[in-house]
Structure 1
Amino acid sequence: MQREAKKRRRPSLSLPILRTSRNQHRAGTLTLGNLLSELGETSFGWAIVVFSLLTLLPLPPGFTLITALPLLMTTGQMIMGYPHVWLPAPLARLQLDPVKLRRTVLRLRPVTRRLERILTPRYTGLFARHNERPLGVLLFVISFALFLPVPLSGWFPAVSMFIVGVGLVERDGLVSALGLIFGGASVLLTTTIVILVFTGADALIN
């Protein structure tokens, strides 16, 4: 009974992002750097969560070439053994649209609701210091699949990165592992689409 009550009282995963972005927007200070600082700038988990949200914003096709760059940078820092996320000044000063950010967070509610029911600290060995670089390599590959402007494939790696990031924030190794599996499937999907596109283009040329 106590465990069930604790699960029911669990705060929404979306609430910190929505509340912080709203307060900073009212204060005129809503930038990527300020949002991460308030959420926990030293956390790779929050950085991955926020950056994956950026790739899901309603933007014209092909913009993942830009919005996926912070994810590539963050996962690259994990590979290089950085102790925390470092943002270049131009990226930290990037202003965010609070309306688009809110819409994107609410679009992910079906995902976050399911995660909220199962999240709990477990299998934390996945997040041990010696596993950070291998984890960074896997996430970099998924981020690169997101970076490629491949039609119909961008949503899947972005959501998988979001799930892994939530698992990192909540220290839930099982959820992060599920996100990695989903991410691996998205990489296969992207690779398949790229091969089909090149095969089709080669057939047209020849």
Structure 2
Amino acid sequence: MAHRQDDNSKRRPSLSMPILRQSRAHDAAGTLTLGNLVEGLGDRSFGWAIVVFSLVTLLPLPPGSSLITALPVLLTTSQMVLGLPHVRLPNRLSRTTINHDKLRRTVLRLRPVTRRLERHLTPRFEGLFAPRHERLLGLALFVIAFTLFLPIPFSGWFPAVSLFIFGVGLIERDGIIASLGLLSGATSVLLTIFIATSLAAGID
């Protein structure tokens, strides 16, 4: 029993807890916006921004909402391409409000994914995140994020989860997990192209 307690005490804190904690606090204060949530999560702004904004695209919203919710992801990844030192959100986008209950349900729905990630996360292969690679990574992520922006049925969930996985890897400086996110993102891009070409062929 003591050994089991020691193992439990050494478990890494859940990745979802900082998001839910900040979301709950800002919701109680009536200040739950995209800007406040990202700012409250602290340093490594690109990683947290990608995680939060990919979660926002997974919220249960009306069809076509991805045209709007994908914009913060596109903005964040484009800033990586430009080599900016941290995320800069326009005031209007920063003031966008979020529904805490919907965010919480989305985070909990992803728990099977985050639990698996948390068991393996550790700083490794950190050369992937070297400054000389940042713009290339940003470009790859921008392409993945662009698939969220396309109004193609059944294609949004996969790239959003891929971006989420990469963001987690970036926060924890885990090059293996980040590479997994990139690989699944590339697969999602190919899937989107396949669906788009299939729809076009059906129309013809």
TM score, norm. by length of structure 1: 0.94
Q: Residue in 1 aligned with 2:109?
A: 107
Q: Distance in 1 between matches of 2:147 and 2:107?
A: 22
Q: In percent, how many aligned pairs have the same letter?
A: 65
Cα distance change, pair 7–186 in 1 and its aligned pair in 2 (3 A): farther
Q: Distance in 2 between matches of 1:165 and 1:134?
A: 15
Structure 2 residues not aligned, in runs of 5+: none
Alignment of 1:57-136 (within 5 A): 57-136=59-138
Contact 1:7–1:117 under 8 Å retained in 2: no
186, 189, 193: which one aligns with 1:187: 189
- CA shift, 1:8, in A, is 4.4
Contact 1:33–1:92 under 8 Å retained in 2: yes
Q: Distance in 1 between matches of 2:175 and 2:150?
A: 27
Q: Distance in 1 between matches of 2:200 and 2:136?
A: 30
Q: Distance in 2 between matches of 1:122 and 1:7?
A: 23
Q: Distance in 2 between matches of 1:5 and 1:83?
A: 38
Q: Residue in 1 aligned with 2:48?
A: 46
- CA shift, 1:146, in A, is 1.3
Q: Distance in 1 between matches of 2:43 and 2:195?
A: 35
Contact 1:36–1:46 under 8 Å retained in 2: yes
Aligned partner of residue 87 in structure 2, secondary structure:
coil
RMSD of aligned residue pairs (Cα, Å): 1.5
- CA shift, 1:35, in A, is 0.6
Q: Distance in 1 between matches of 2:111 and 2:203?
A: 39
Q: Distance in 2 between matches of 1:169 and 1:16?
A: 12
Cα-to-partner distance string for 1:116-137 (whole Å, 9 max, x where unaligned): 0000000001111000000001
4+ residue runs of structure 1 moved beyond 6 angstroms? none
11, 32, 35: which one aligns with 2:34: 32
143, 146, 152: which one aligns with 1:144: 146
Cα distance change, pair 194–7 in 1 and its aligned pair in 2 (3 A): farther
Q: Distance in 1 between matches of 2:181 and 2:116?
A: 13
2:25 counterpart letter in structure 1: N
Matched, 1:173 2:171: no
- CA shift, 1:40, in A, is 2.0
Cα distance change, pair 178–6 in 1 and its aligned pair in 2 (3 A): farther
Q: Distance in 2 between matches of 1:5 and 1:79?
A: 41
Matched, 1:55 2:57: yes
Structure 1 residues not aligned, in runs of 5+: none
Contact 1:41–1:85 under 8 Å retained in 2: no
